[in-house]
Structure 1
Amino acid sequence: MFHFFSKKVFLKDLLEGFVDIHSHILPGIDDGAKNTSESIDLIKGLQALGVKQFMPTPHVMQDFYPNTDETIGNAYQKLLGALDSKMLSEITINPAAEYMLDDNFQKQLETQELFTLKGNYLLIEMSYFQPPINLEEIISKIKSKGYLPILAHPERYPFYHNTKGYYLKLKQLGCFFQLNLLSLSEHYGKNVEKTAHYLIEEQLIDFVATDTHHADHIEKLSNLTLHEDLAKKLANVIKNTCSTFSVI
Structure 2
Amino acid sequence: MISFFQKKTFFVDLLEDFTDFHNHLLPGIDDGAATPEASLEMIEKFGEFGVKRFVCTPHVMGEYYPNTRETIGKALEKLKSVLPLEIDISAAGEYMMDQHLMDSLEEGEKMLPIIGNNVLVEMSYFQAPINLKEILFKILTSGQKPILAHPERYAYYHSKNLEKYKDLKGRGCSFQMNMLSLTPHYGSGMQKAANQLLEAGMIDFISSDAHRLEHLEKLEKIKLNKKQVQLLEPVIEKSKALFN
* TM-score for both structures, normalised by structure 2: 0.95
Unaligned runs of 5+ in 2: none
Rounded Cα–Cα distance in structure 2 between residues aligned with 1:204 and 1:170? 11
* Corresponding residue for residue 96 of structure 1: 92
C-alpha distance after superposition, 1:110-129 (max 9, x if no partner):
32331111100010001000
SS at match of 1:94: strand
Structure 1: which 5+ residue stretches go unaligned? Answer: none
Is contact 2:117-2:144 (8 Å) kept? yes
Partner of 1:113: 110
Q: Which residue of 2 aligns with 1:148?
A: 145
* CA displacement, residues 42-97 of structure 1 (integer Å, 9 cap, x when unaligned): 111111122121000000011311000110000001011122xxx222x2101110
| Whole-angstrom CA distance in 1 between matches of 2:157 and 2:145 | 22
Aligned equivalent of 2:157, options 142, 149, 160:
160
> After the TM superposition, which of the residue ranges 102-111 and 24-33 deviates more from structure 2?
102-111
1:188 shift after superposition: 0.5
CA distance in 1, matches of 2:100, 2:132: 15
C-alpha RMSD of matched pairs (Å): 1.3
Structure 1 residue 139: Cα displacement: 1.1
Q: What percentage of aligned pairs have identical amino acids?
A: 48
CA deviations on 1:201-242 (whole Å, 9 max, x unpaired) are 111011100001001100000001112111121011110011
Q: Kindly provide the amino acid, as one letter, of the partner of residue 77 in structure 2.
A: Q
Query: 2:5 and 2:109 mapped to 1: Cα distance?
Result: 52
| Greater alpha carbon shift after TM alignment, 15-24 vs 137-146 | 137-146
Q: Counterpart in 2 of 1:19?
A: 19
Tell me, yes or no, if the aligned pair for 1:6 and 1:229 is still in contact at 8 Å. Answer: no
- 1:34 equivalent in alignment to 2:39: no
Provide the C-alpha distance between the structure 2 equivalents of 1:74 and 1:230, rounded to a whole number of angstroms: 39
Task: Please give the TM-score of this superposition, normalised by the length of structure 1.
Answer: 0.93
Deviation at 1:5, TM superposition (A): 5.7
3-state DSSP class of the match of 1:177?
strand
SS at match of 1:108: helix
SS of equivalent to 1:245:
coil
Contact 2:54–2:88 (8 Å) recurs in 1: yes
Partner residue, 2:175? 177
